[in-house]
Structures are given as structure tokens and as C-alpha cells.
């Protein structure tokens, strides 16, 4: 399955993701505008290259077990990149499913685009986590909360979407704050799709997250749209573009990221009497993620998903505890995880305890999920590294089984398996999950 190229808007004059020198400027994919593709699938890369020296492109696992996989590239890769043409590259069929860094090497120099490529085999459904409003540097939110990454990974999203306001304008070290926040995002197991907020300097966003604040990223048949909507009247060109995209439709549900709690397109369409025409027939198949505001307008025609801030900020009547939202998208159905009135999950009440070594040296790996929320959490994700029985390395043997969970993926790493499984957690309860080699 091919991954569609992101729409890069207004490249001229925009910031660029740069290598260690100015001879290579990487445009796409990026940490905030990744590609999602299947093994043996293809995607496009875009860069500005000056040197006619050989270039290699590889996928590198950012987490254990570390491994690299070279991408298949055309023989005239360098010539195409020098012309700034989009270049189609292909993922080998045997690459394990996970999120990878994209590594570009030229002249003994290495540029790493973190979490830029995610591999997936199941495009029938996927899980989204929404993070909104970090405001890092605000007096009540000096930094990102480490618990957020841990608990988001535990609910097992296939994609994380963020809707802006990452760094407070008053932060004394914006460059350092952006770097630390992107370091935090790099610890997420899923790729991150980012929209720009009204407090985010567009030049910072372009240099750090993605080239261009507007674009599209598809997850198989599911259509993802990223808008630049800081809360002022949207320019007519962008408004016309999203109207055309929605009118064309998609094979699966559409998910939209914009910042303003009252999205400018919805306000404009309602004023013109076009809201029902554009959205009502697709109400159940559009998930529109926005920032939080307790005083935001209720639009009955639209499935607006406003999530409480992902930091301890108390702005806009936020509670001062980081939150996130979980939404499952299956075909044209959009199903938020039922977690209470706000739809947002506070951090601090979900954890995973390992009862045995989880580094590929044990044939039996045990975990305990603990959920102290007042609501159940379906589909929590656990990853186990299970050693193969002694003397069978390199042989075809039955993969491990797991109890109290549904096996999702098993990847063979020679002397051990990497297993991922989903478990359903009861409200105010615990679940023990055991993986065991045959």
C-alpha cells in the first residue's frame, strides 16, 4: 500500500529541517508530519541537496531491540534530490511493524529524522490519542510531564495527534524548550502528527516539526487533514482547499487537526449556511480535534473533540493535571473511549508493573496492569521480549502465547520474539498478562 505524499504548503521562504551543514535540507517526512505505510509499501521523500555524493536512506529503530533496515531507492536518487523532486522509496517486505527514525547519510554525515516513518499491516482500524495545549513555560506548566508519555504508550495508540500551543511565548529559551519537547515526543511509541497553534511561532514550527503548517497524512484509507487555524478568520485559499478535500470524500473516516476551539471553517460555513451541506451527511465519519476552551461553542452538526490540556496549565479553566483523549476509528465509525463527561483521561492513575526480566532473556514474561480510574480502559498495550527455548534459535518454532490479552503482533529477532498484546482493564482493578514461549 502506498502512502500519499503530504501536501507541503509555501515552501519558499519557510523554515527547513537542516542537517549538520547547509548542503542537505530535509523537508519530508518529518517528526511532526510522518508517513504511515505498510512493509513493501512506498512513500515519497523530499529534500534540497547540493552535493552530488552518494546518499543512503535507512530506517532505524529508536528503541530496543536496535536495528536498521535500508530503504530501496532509485539509482538516480541524488540527481532527483538535487532537483528537489519528490523521490519514491520502498520499504522491504520483512521489516518489523513499528515506528522508525529515518536516517540520511552523505559524506560521513548523518541526519536523523525521529519517528518519521511508521509501519503498519492493519489499515482497517486504528487508535488515536489527542494531546492539546502544552503551554510549556507557563508558570503552572514549566515542562512536559514524564507520566504523559508513559501512560499514552500504555493505551497503545497507532497515531498521536497534537493541536498546538506547545511553547509559551514568554519562555526565555524557546529553542531549548522546543528541543526538549521534541525529545519528549520521540519517547512515544507511535508517530506524532502536529498542528500549529496561535501561540507557536510559525518559524519555530517549520524548523522543528514540519515544513508548512497545512498538510495531509493518510493512515491507509483514513484521511488526515492538518489546518493552520490560530483562531482568526481563515484565508480563502485554505478554506477553499479543505472544502474541496471534504467534497471528494475518502474510503474511510476523516480526521482533522486544527487549533481554534471554534474552528474557523465551521464558523464560516455556519455563517454561509453550508455547514450541513459539507458535514452533516458525514457527521459520524469526521473526527475534528481542537484545543480546549470551557467557553467554546457547541456545534451540533460536528463531531468536535476538544481535549483538556496535556500539561499542568490552569489556563482557560483547565484543571491543572495533564490529560489526553483516546479515540478508536474503525471504517467510518469514530468511537471515543468512554471515560466521563470531558472525554479526557487524567494522568497518574494507570501503570504497568513488570514481574520478570523483559529484555529477551526469559522464556516467560509477566506483567500487571493497574487501573485506578473510575472507568474501564479497553485495549491497553503491552510489549514483551520473550526468549526462544534453548537450542531453537534459527529454527521455525511456534511463537509465544499470552494470557488475559489479545496478541497483536509477533516479530522474530533471532534469539527472542517481540510480542505486543492488548488487554482490557476493569475500572479500579488490575489485570495480569503472561507471555510464555512454547
Q: State how far the Cα of 410 lies from the Cα of 418, in Å rounded to an integer.
A: 6
The 10s digit of each residue's pLDDT in 154-207 is 999 999 999 999 999 989 999 999 999 999 999 999 999 999 999 999 999 999
Domain ranges of the chain: 17-119, 125-346, 350-436
Cα–chain center distance at 274: 31
Burial call 92-104: b when 16+ CB within 10 Å, e when fewer? eeebbbbbbbbbb
DSSP line for 159-202: EEEE-S--B-TT-S-HHHHHHHHHHHHHTSSS-EEE---TTS-H
The answer on pLDDT for 13 being more than 50 is no
Q: State how far the Cα of 29 lies from the Cα of 240, in Å rounded to an integer.
A: 25
Mean pLDDT of 25-38: 95
Per-range mean pLDDT, top range of 271-285, 356-370, 390-404: 356-370
Is 125-346 the same fold as 17-119? no
The answer on pLDDT for 283 being more than 60 is no
Say what the pLDDT of residue 298 is: 72
Q: Which residue has the cell 468511537?
A: 335
Say what the pLDDT of residue 161 is: 98
Say what the pLDDT of residue 340 is: 84
CATH number of 17-119: 2.60.40
> Which of the four pLDDT bands, split at 50, 70 and 90, describes residue 19?
very low
Mean pLDDT of 334-352: 93
* 348, three cell numbers: 497518574
The 10s digit of each residue's pLDDT in 313-329 is 998 788 999 999 999 99
The answer on pLDDT for 226 being more than 70 is yes
Say what the pLDDT of residue 293 is: 82
Q: Which residue has the cell 519530508?
A: 28
The 10s digit of each residue's pLDDT in 65-112 is 999 999 999 999 999 999 989 999 999 999 999 999 999 999 888 999
Q: Specify the pairing of strand 109-119 against strand 99-106.
A: antiparallel
CATH topology for 125-346 is Purple Acid Phosphatase; chain A, domain 2 (3.60.21)
> Does residue 176 have a cis bond before it (omega within 30 degrees)?
no
Q: Which residue has the cell 493518510?
A: 218
> Which of the four pLDDT bands, split at 50, 70 and 90, describes residue 282?
low
Mean pLDDT of 115-125: 94
Task: Report the DSSP beta bridge partners of residue 306.
Answer: 290
* Residue 380 or 297, more confident: 380
* 141, three cell numbers: 506548566
The 10s digit of each residue's pLDDT in 296-310 is 777 776 788 999 999
Q: State how far the Cα of 5 lies from the Cα of 248, in Å rounded to an integer.
A: 17
Say what the pLDDT of residue 303 is: 81
Nearest to 431 by CA among 379, 363, 386, 387: 379
DSSP 3-state of 3: coil
Helix then strand then coil, in percent of the chain rounded to 5, is 15, 35, 45
Q: Specify the pairing of strand 87-90 against strand 42-49.
A: antiparallel
| Percent over 90 (pLDDT), the chain | 73
Q: Assess if CATH 2.40.10 describes domain 350-436.
A: no
Nearest to 165 by CA among 131, 142, 211: 131
The answer on pLDDT for 241 being more than 70 is yes
Say what the pLDDT of residue 297 is: 78
Say what the pLDDT of residue 392 is: 60
> Which of the four pLDDT bands, split at 50, 70 and 90, describes residue 22?
low
DSSP line for 127-160: EEEEEB---BTBTTBSS--HHHHHHHHHH--SEE
Say what the pLDDT of residue 119 is: 97
Say what the pLDDT of residue 20 is: 47
Mean pLDDT of 285-301: 82
* Residue 92 or 340, more confident: 92
Orientation angle between helical segments 236-248 and 264-272, nearest 10 degrees: 80
* 374, three cell numbers: 473510575
The answer on pLDDT for 11 being more than 80 is no
Mean pLDDT of 127-136: 96
Indicate the pTM of the whole model: 0.93
Say what the pLDDT of residue 141 is: 87
Say what the pLDDT of residue 95 is: 96
Amino acid at each position: 500500500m502506498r502512502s500519499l505524499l503530504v501536501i507541503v504548503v509555501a515552501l519558499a521562504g519557510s523554515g527547513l529541517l537542516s542537517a549538520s551543514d547547509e548542503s542537505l535540507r530535509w523537508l519530508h517526512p518529518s517528526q511532526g508530519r510522518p508517513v504511515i505505510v505498510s512493509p513493501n509499501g512506498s512513500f515519497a521523500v523530499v529534500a534540497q541537496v547540493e552535493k552530488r555524493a552518494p546518499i543512503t536512506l535507512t530506517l532505524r529503530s529508536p528503541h530496543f531491540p536496535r536495528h536498521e533496515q535500508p530503504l530501496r531507492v532509485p539509482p538516480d536518487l541524488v540527481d532527483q534530490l538535487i532537483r528537489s523532486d519528490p523521490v519514491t522509496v520502498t520499504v522491504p517486505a520483512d521489516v518489523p511493524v513499528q515506528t522508525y527514525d529515518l536516517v540520511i547519510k552523505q559524506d560521513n554525515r548523518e541526519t536523523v529524522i525521529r519517528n518519521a516513518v511508521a509501519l503498519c499491516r492493519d489499515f482497517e482500524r486504528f487508535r488515536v490519542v489527542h494531546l492539546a495545549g502544552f503551554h510549556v513555560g507557563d508558570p503552572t506548566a514549566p515542562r512536559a510531564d514524564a507520566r504523559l508519555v508513559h501512560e499514552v504508550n500504555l493505551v497503545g495508540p497507532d497515531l498521536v495527534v497534537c493541536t498546538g500551543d506547545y511553547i509559551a511565548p514568554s519562555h526565555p529559551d524557546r529553542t531549548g524548550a522546543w528541543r526538549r519537547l521534541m525529545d519528549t515526543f520521540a519517547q512515544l511509541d507511535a508517530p506524532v502528527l502536529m498542528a500549529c497553534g496561535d501561540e507557536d511561532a510559525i518559524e519555530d514550527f517549520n524548523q522543528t516539526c514540519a515544513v508548512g503548517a497545512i498538510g495531509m497524512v493518510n493512515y491507509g484509507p483514513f484521511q488526515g487533514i492538518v489546518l493552520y487555524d490560530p483562531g482568526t478568520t481563515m484565508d480563502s485559499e485554505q478554506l477553499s482547499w479543505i472544502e474541496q478535500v471534504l467534497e471528494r470524500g475518502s474510503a474511510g473516516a476523516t480526521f482533522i487537526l486544527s487549533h481554534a476551539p471554534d474552528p474557523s471553517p465551521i464558523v464560516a460555513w455556519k455563517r454561509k449556511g453550508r455547514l450541513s451541506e459539507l458535514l452533516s451527511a458525514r457527521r459520524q465519519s469526521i473526527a475534528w480535534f481542537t484545543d480546549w476552551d470551557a467557553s467554546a461553542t457547541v456545534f451540533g452538526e460536528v463531531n468536535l473533540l476538544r481535549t483538556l490540556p496535556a500539561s499542568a496549565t490552569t489556563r482557560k479553566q483547565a484543571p491543572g493535571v495533564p490529560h489526553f483523549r483516546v479515540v478508536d476509528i474503525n471504517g467510518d465509525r469514530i468511537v471515543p473511549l468512554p471515560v466521563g463527561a470531558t472525554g479526557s483521561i487524567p494522568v497518574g492513575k494507570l501503570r504497568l508493573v513488570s514481574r520478570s526480566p523483559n529484555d529477551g532473556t526469559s522464556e516467560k514474561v509477566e506483567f500487571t496492569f493497574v487501573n485506578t480510574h473510575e472507568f474501564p480502559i479497553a485495549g491497553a498495550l503491552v510489549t514483551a521480549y520473550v526468549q526462544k527455548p534453548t537450542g531453537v534459535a534459527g529454527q521455525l518454532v511456534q511463537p509465544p502465547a499470552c494470557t488475559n490479552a489479545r496478541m497483536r503482533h509477533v516479530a522474530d529477532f533471532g534469539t527472542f520474539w517481540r510480542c505486543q498484546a492488548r488487554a482490557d482493564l476493569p475500572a479500579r482493578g488490575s489485570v495480569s498478562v503472561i507471555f510464555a514461549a512454547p
